[in-house]
Structure 1
Amino acid sequence: MDDLTRRRVYGADHDDPGPEPGREYVQLVGGALDGQLLDVTGMPPEQRVGGALLMTDVGVYGPGGRADYEPRTGDPGRWDWRGDTA
């Protein structure tokens, strides 16, 4: 995976948006959260296969909407956007 130290972490404080040492992240690809990192530290592998619905105010459904991401086949360090949901 490319250098992740300059990317913003999903849900992180705006004053300290970068990744923290010792944490595990996946890169979000596509959709409203494209390029952000998702902290998956402590998330068991069996939960990761289902991906995540992540809250975002900038998706199709606006505030309260969610962006659906799932692990990329053959590259679990990247999660691809599948669409938005209310």
Structure 2
Amino acid sequence: MDAWWVDRRVYGVPSERDRGPKPGHVYVELVGGPLDGMLLDVTGWPSQEVVDGAMLMSEHGQFRPGGRSEYEPAEADAGAGGVGRFVWHGDVP
């Protein structure tokens, strides 16, 4: 695993001790918005769900607790058939 990924925090992992990425898992980087720089574990996601992106709960977005942040695959990543990065498209209540 690339050293750059080792110190990254994974979205949805509550424990500081277990917050980093795990070997054998597939991650995308969240770019922009309140979750910028975090990793999202997409291991086992059906390919259509990866293409659709994700609505992620975020306490730090515009709508605070209970709000969600919308992330979609980066255009360059989607066109190449790969994953890699999800880019923020806004917050929703």
Q: TM-score range by the shorter chain?
A: over 0.9
The farther-off stretch of 39-48 and 11-20 is: 11-20
Highest CA radius of gyration, 1 or 2? 2
Q: CA 1:13 to 1:19, structure 2 compared with 1: closer, same or farther past 3 Å?
A: same
28-37 or 1-10: bigger deviation: 1-10
For 1:46, what is the secondary structure of its paired residue? helix
Give 1:14's aligned amino acid.
Answer: S
Q: Distance in 2 between matches of 1:2 and 1:63?
A: 32
Name 1:38's counterpart in structure 2.
Answer: 40
TM-score (normalised: structure 2): 0.87
Gaps of 5+ in 1: none
Q: Gapped runs of 5+ residues in structure 2?
A: 78-82
Structure 2 counterpart of 1:85: 92
Aligned residues: 86
d(CA) in 2 for partners of 1:73 and 1:3? 22
* RMSD, aligned α-carbons: 1.5
Moved >3 Å (runs of 4+):
none
TM-score, with length taken from structure 1: 0.93
Higher percent of residues as strand = 1
Over the matched positions of the two proteins, sequence identity in percent amounts to: 52
